[in-house]
Amino acid sequence: MGPIQVAMRPDDGGSVRRVWRETVGWSACTLLLAVVVCVSALIAGESSLLPDAIRWWGGAAIAFAALGAPIFIWGIVRVGISRARAIGLLVDVPRGLSFCVVRKEVTATAIRSLTSESDERKVPLDMSVIADRSGLSLFGGGVLEPRLVWKESWKSIVSISRAGSAIGSGRGVAIEVVHDGLVTKIEFSVVGRGFGGLGAPRATALDSLIDSMNLLRRPASTAPDPGTP
């Protein structure tokens, strides 16, 4: 079976340089928009011809731009790092696929229950996911020095399906893992599309991603048990 092609693979027709160009471009646009909003609101606030209500909204716009722009830029940069990291990791996995996720609050606890990690900071907010014939791997860290957060073989993964997402309804991935006889559900919000890569994928792209992971999982999940006669 040849390499599995998924529309969401971050290296499709691109490179790390393209990701960084997009990251810098979206960050600059966000900053420019915030400056334009602030300047326009200041001009409106100084005008005596405008009603007080409009000038009040101008002050609110300044506060929103001043607080919101840094948060958006931080998110764009974090997702850019995840996308670039995924590209580098996928180079050595020709039959695999990769995508970027943002964990939910309960995800860190679930991952720690499956590993020896006890420090909240060791389960980053954004991660790169690599899926290949051996299983699933989650990576954090930098682009040049990625850090393995969690790895699980397909034999321990009982299902992969859609999940609710903080970004869009049904735009996340839920993975159920059997560990010590207990089933643990791990949910992620999938990102990498739209405004600075912060948007959720289209429903068709997410379904394609889940189908591809299930194809990778199938040989392990359907293989006969070695002890079965």
Does residue 220 surpass a pLDDT of 70? no
The pTM of this model reads: 0.72
Domain count, the chain: 1
Residue in this structure with the two tokens 């999938």, named with its chain if needed: 190
Give residue 69's pLDDT. 84
Question: In the structure, what pLDDT confidence band is assigned to residue 11 with cuts at 50, 70 and 90?
Answer: very low
Check which CATH number belongs to the domain holding 153 and give it.
2.30.29.30
d(CA 11, CA 8): 9
The predicted-structure confidence for 182-192, as pLDDT tens digits, reads as follows: 898 888 888 87
Tell me whether residue 176 is in a domain: yes
What mean pLDDT do residues 38-42 have? 75
Domain enclosing residue 119, as ranges:
16-222
Of 34, 42, 39, 47, nearest in space to 59 by CA? 42
Give residue 156's pLDDT. 92
Q: Which ranges of the chain does DSSP label H, i.e. alpha helix? A: 16-46, 52-90, 105-114, 203-222
Q: Which amino acid is at 47?
A: S
Tell me whether residue 6 is in a domain: no
Question: In the structure, what pLDDT confidence band is assigned to residue 155 with cuts at 50, 70 and 90?
Answer: very high
Greater model confidence, 198 or 213: 213
SS3 call for 39: helix
Give residue 68's pLDDT. 82
